[in-house]
Amino acid sequence: MTSEENRSREQICEMAKSIYDRGLTGSASGNISLRLSNGQLLVTPTGSSFGRLDPARLTLLNQDFSYSSGDQATKEMALHSAFYETRPGITGAVVHLHSSHSVALSVLPDIDPENVLPPITAYGIMKLGKVKLLPYFMPGDPAMGDAIRGLAGKRSAVLLAHHGPVVAGKDLEAAVYAMEELEETAKLTLLTHRLQPNLLNDSQVRDIVTKFDVQWDD
């Protein structure tokens, strides 16, 4: 095992435990993948709790997503592989959670499916761009990956209805931070829902998109 792989195993477990300890995902829900410099991926195993991951038991996949070693990979690999395939070179990690506020937002009847997060803060725009709402799929359904591929790499984050968010980032830290921002913005959205909050206007949003080079337009 290389030193990079060893560090990456430890990082996944540390980040996952932090996510679990703060209640962002519970039970045996959620999954993480991280691409190594040789193209292989480390993935959290199916049925595992983020609070008790063992670095030695993480799944190692080959570049083509075939099994190499470790426990059986998460059944949600279709979500992960779709992001690596459609956003090559800019996806180094993928995080999927069942975080409460994001899931609650996904079932509201009056949200914009093209961008579920209103422009409440600059950071939600900076870290996530537009977040697409995808329809409900049975957990583990490969069609989830097809839905992400249908976005042609234009979104780094999606929200699965009745299920939870999926975020891709350049590395694990970036993906986790973006996921945390998504959940916090979802919480703010629910707190202000139907209260007619003052949102950032179109000009302010455009300034943020331009200054921070956010992927925004379709």
- Domains in the chain (CATH in brackets) are 3-211 (3.40.225.10)
Q: Give per-residue pLDDT as tens, 47-93.
A: 999 999 999 999 999 999 999 999 999 999 999 999 999 999 999 99
Q: Give per-residue pLDDT as tens, 100-113.
A: 999 999 999 999 99
Q: Give per-residue pLDDT as tens, 5-52.
A: 999 999 999 999 999 999 988 788 899 999 999 999 999 999 999 999
pLDDT at residue number 217: 79
Q: What is the CA radius of gyration of the chain?
A: 17
The structure's pTM equals 0.94
pLDDT at residue number 25: 87
Token duo for residue 13: 């477990």
pLDDT at residue number 128: 96
pLDDT at residue number 218: 67
Q: Give per-residue pLDDT as tens, 146-198.
A: 999 999 999 999 999 999 999 999 999 999 999 999 999 999 999 999 899 99
Phi/psi for 46 (5° steps) reads: -65, 145
Q: Could you identify the residue written with the tokens 């063992």?
A: 54
Provide the annotated active-site residues: 76, 123
Average confidence (pLDDT) over 114-127? 95
